[in-house]
């Protein structure tokens, strides 16, 4: 590997790709060698950003270009195939959350990356919030004691209403390509936070439904409850919320204090500040500022991979999501662990 990290982009239908490309343009140690997607409009858009090589087939892109790593920005279903193909070529992998469309695919990708000895990083967009990074650090240092509950709500008016691209909306609303609807898109965050601190829950129960968007083939609202021996956590998701109040709020409850990240700020309530006080959050440091910055630093062994972005945490979260979808469709509480099987094999459709 030379001085520049040579990256190929597999898939362009996830709207987060454009921020990634913008970050790459400002990073003098990275070269986006090529990008690939079957959609000609997306390829043309990539070319307008300055990417000179585009391909209609992501697999052919791997064969035709010298790369060190790939960034995957397709749908959740295709991401597994792209990642496995990249791992077989010895390429490091950056993948958008959650990790896959179902648990079986997540296991397959995890195993491929482990066998190949390549880095596998899962990008959770909230990982780059200064207030959340500081909250995670405070929790690990024992500032709020032992956690007994984590609540996370992720919500907005819906991908289409929010202005997401037609290509992004198309697969987000497709239960096969996405893995579900809002459960996969937004309950995943709460599942990841819960699994990172508490491990795999013993039981999962989910209530979900199409409350407002009756034309969708997937659920637009969901509440997932995760039960551990000494903790109970929730992940709430909505594609029908008006306004952004309470849109993205993780709250951590410990036996010595409570932390809430809200609107770019961090608040702590404990024995000394019963009603809560604002906490000053340090600026993000080099290698921790955005997904590309971190991915490059991890590959070059300049920083350790953030725990929230690890494949191990994402694999547990995917396990929970699969159980949660099964619970929503059977009206049952699901015990974990599940065997590594896909929703298709379970015969369940969201």
Do 225 and 323 have their domain in common? yes
How far apart CA 155 and CA 152 sit, in angstroms, is: 10
What average pLDDT score do residues 113-132 get? Answer: 98
Do 121 and 11 have their domain in common? yes
Are 214 and 347 in contact, with CB atoms under 8 Å apart? no
Instruction: Output the pLDDT for position 212.
Output: 96
Last residue of one domain, picked from the residues 74, 107, 126:
126
Residue 293 lies in a domain: no
Do 113 and 188 have their domain in common? no
Do 190 and 142 have their domain in common? yes
CATH code of residue 82: 3.40.50.720
Instruction: Output the pLDDT for position 90.
Output: 98
Number of domains in the chain: 2
Tokens 């790939």 appear where?
70
pLDDT for residue 341 is more than 60: no
Mean pLDDT, all residues of the chain: 95
Do 115 and 195 have their domain in common? no
Instruction: Output the pLDDT for position 345.
Output: 46
Do 233 and 319 have their domain in common? yes
Residue 299 lies in a domain: no
How far apart CA 333 and CA 225 sit, in angstroms, is: 10
Q: What is the pLDDT of residues 189-210, one digit of tens each?
A: 999 999 999 999 999 999 999 9
Instruction: Output the pLDDT for position 3.
Output: 75
Instruction: Output the pLDDT for position 250.
Output: 97
Instruction: Output the pLDDT for position 59.
Output: 98
Residue 191 lies in a domain: yes
Instruction: Output the pLDDT for position 309.
Output: 98
Residue 229 lies in a domain: yes
Instruction: Output the pLDDT for position 344.
Output: 43
Do 47 and 93 have their domain in common? yes
3-state SS, the chain, equals: CCCCEEEEEECCCCCCHHHHHHHHHCCCCEEEEEEECCCHHHHHHHHHCCCCCEECCHHHHHHHCCCCEEEECCCHHHHHHHHHHHHHCCCEEEEECCCCCCHHHHHHHHHHHHHHCCCEEEECHHHHCHHHHHHHHHHHCCCCCCEEEEEEEEECCCHHHHCCCHHHHHHHCCHHHHCCCHHHHHHHHHHHHHHHHHCCCCEEEEEEECCCCCCCCCCCEEEEEEECCCCEEEEEEECCCCCCCCCEEEEEEECCEEEEEECCEEEEEECCCCCCEEECCCCCCCCCCCHHHHHHHHHCCCCCCCHHHEHHHHHHHHHHHHHHHHHHHHCCCEECCCCCCCHHHHCCCC
Are 97 and 192 in contact, with CB atoms under 8 Å apart? yes
Do 331 and 182 have their domain in common? yes
Q: What is the pLDDT of residues 239-294, one digit of tens each?
A: 999 998 888 999 999 999 999 999 999 999 999 999 999 999 999 999 999 999 99
Instruction: Output the pLDDT for position 340.
Output: 55
Instruction: Output the pLDDT for position 349.
Output: 40
pLDDT for residue 346 is more than 90: no
Last residue of one domain, picked from the residues 82, 109, 126:
126
Do 190 and 326 have their domain in common? yes
| Parent domain of 221 | 129-284+307-346
Residue 302 lies in a domain: no
How far apart CA 293 and CA 53 sit, in angstroms, is: 23
Residue 166 lies in a domain: yes
Share above pLDDT 70 across residues of the chain, in percent, rounded to a whole number? 96
231, β-bridge pairs: none
Residue 35 lies in a domain: yes
Q: Confidence class of residue 338 from pLDDT cuts 50, 70 and 90? A: confident
CATH code of residue 199: 3.30.360.10
What average pLDDT score do residues 133-153 get? Answer: 98
> What is the pTM assigned to this prediction?
0.95
Which has the closest alpha carbon to 84: 97, 65, 98, 99? 99
Do 240 and 260 have their domain in common? yes
Last residue of one domain, picked from the residues 85, 106, 126:
126
Instruction: Output the pLDDT for position 350.
Output: 35
pLDDT for residue 62 is more than 60: yes
Do 86 and 182 have their domain in common? no
Do 109 and 151 have their domain in common? no
Residue 108 lies in a domain: yes
């Amino acid at each position: 590997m030379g001085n520049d990290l040579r990256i190929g982009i597999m898939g362009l239908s996830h709207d987060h790709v454009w921020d990634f490309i913008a970050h790459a343009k400002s990073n003098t140690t990275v070269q986006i060698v090529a990008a690939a997607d079957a959609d000609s409009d997306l390829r043309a858009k990539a070319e307008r950003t300055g990417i000179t090589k585009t391909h209609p087939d992501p697999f052919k892109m791997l064969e035709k270009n010298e790369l060190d790593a790939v960034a995957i920005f397709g749908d959740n279903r295709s991401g597994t195939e792209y990642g496995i193909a990249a791992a077989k070529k010895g390429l490091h992998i950056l993948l958008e959350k959650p990790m896959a469309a179902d648990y079986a695919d997540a296991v397959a990708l995890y195993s491929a990356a482990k066998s190949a000895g390549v880095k596998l990083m899962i990008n959770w967009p909230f990982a780059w919030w200064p207030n959340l990074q500081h909250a995670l650090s405070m929790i690990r240092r024992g500032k709020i004691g032992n956690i007994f509950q984590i609540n996370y709500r992720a919500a907005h008016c819906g991908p289409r209403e929010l202005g997401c691209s037609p290509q992004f909306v198309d697969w987000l609303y497709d239960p096969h390509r996405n893995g579900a609807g809002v459960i996969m898109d937004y309950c995943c965050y709460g599942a990841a936070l819960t699994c990172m601190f508490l491990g795999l829950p013993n039981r999962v129960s989910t209530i979900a439904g199409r409350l407002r968007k009756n034309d969708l083939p997937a659920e637009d609202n969901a509440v997932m409850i995760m039960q551990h021996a000494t903790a109970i956590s929730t992940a709430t998701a909505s594609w029908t919320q008006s306004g952004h109040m309470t849109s993205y709020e993780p709250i951590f409850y410990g036996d010595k204090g409570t932390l809430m990240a809200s609107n770019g700020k961090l608040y702590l309530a404990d024995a000394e500040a019963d009603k809560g006080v604002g906490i000053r959050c340090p600026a993000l440091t080099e290698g921790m500022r955005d997904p590309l910055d971190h991915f490059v630093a991890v590959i070059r062994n300049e920083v350790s991979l953030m725990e929230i972005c690890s494949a191990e945490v994402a694999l547990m979260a995917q396990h929970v999501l699969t159980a949660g979808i099964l619970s929503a469709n059977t009206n049952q509480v699901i015990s974990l662990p599940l065997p590594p099987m896909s929703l298709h094999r379970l015969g369940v459709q969201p």
